[in-house]
Amino acid sequence: MGLSLEQKQAAVAEVAAQLGEAQAVIVAEYRGLGVGAMTGLRAKARVSGIYLRVLKNTLARRAVAGTRFEKLSEQMSGPLVYGIARDPVAGAKVLADFAKDNERFVIRGGAMANTLMSAKDVKVLATMPSRAELLAKLVGTMQAPIAKLARTLNEIPGKFVRTLAALRDAKEEAAT
């Protein structure tokens, strides 16, 4: 039984709302994939903050119409799952990792703001460090000069204490 007009409109509105907040959309073909595998993929996607949706291509075309992902409609053919991600790298990583483990799950392409990506581009995006990793590196880089300054400032009194200890030891040796 097909969807009613209200259900179709609700699905298009829901996907369009997700697209408004998204940074990337990744499209993959899932033909022949079991329910258990798809359930596992949905769980991984949910943890990573990815909105995963299987939708008829005509409804998906209506959802992307007028958005910055409109060019994606060129890649919409066949049974597709749409991964809509706020973090493009996280979305690409989850779907690319799943594709490595399941040969029936094939990434067809994707889109970032007004840019169409091929399957190869999505795989390259998946190899990039995530936002969290980049922020950690930035904090480490910013923190390094401060830590070096603290070690340098700490070395001055330490050197003074070691000099006094050496003087004390020398006087004790001279006295004995």
Helix (H) or strand (E) holding 40: helix 35-48
The string of pLDDT tens digits covering residues 3-18 is 788 888 888 898 888 8
- Supply φ then ψ for residue 115, to 5 degrees: -130, 125
Verdict on whether the full-model pTM lies above 0.75: no
Q: What is the mean pLDDT of the chain?
A: 88
The string of pLDDT tens digits covering residues 20-34 is 888 999 999 988 888
Distances in Å between the alpha carbon of 104 and those of 26, 34, 81, 120? Answer: 16, 9, 13, 17
Strands of the sheet with 24-29, listed across from one edge: 50-54, 80-85, 24-29, 106-112, 115-118
Residue 4 CA to residue 21 CA, distance in Å, equals: 27
Residue 3 CA to residue 62 CA, distance in Å, equals: 15
The string of pLDDT tens digits covering residues 93-111 is 999 999 998 888 899 999 9
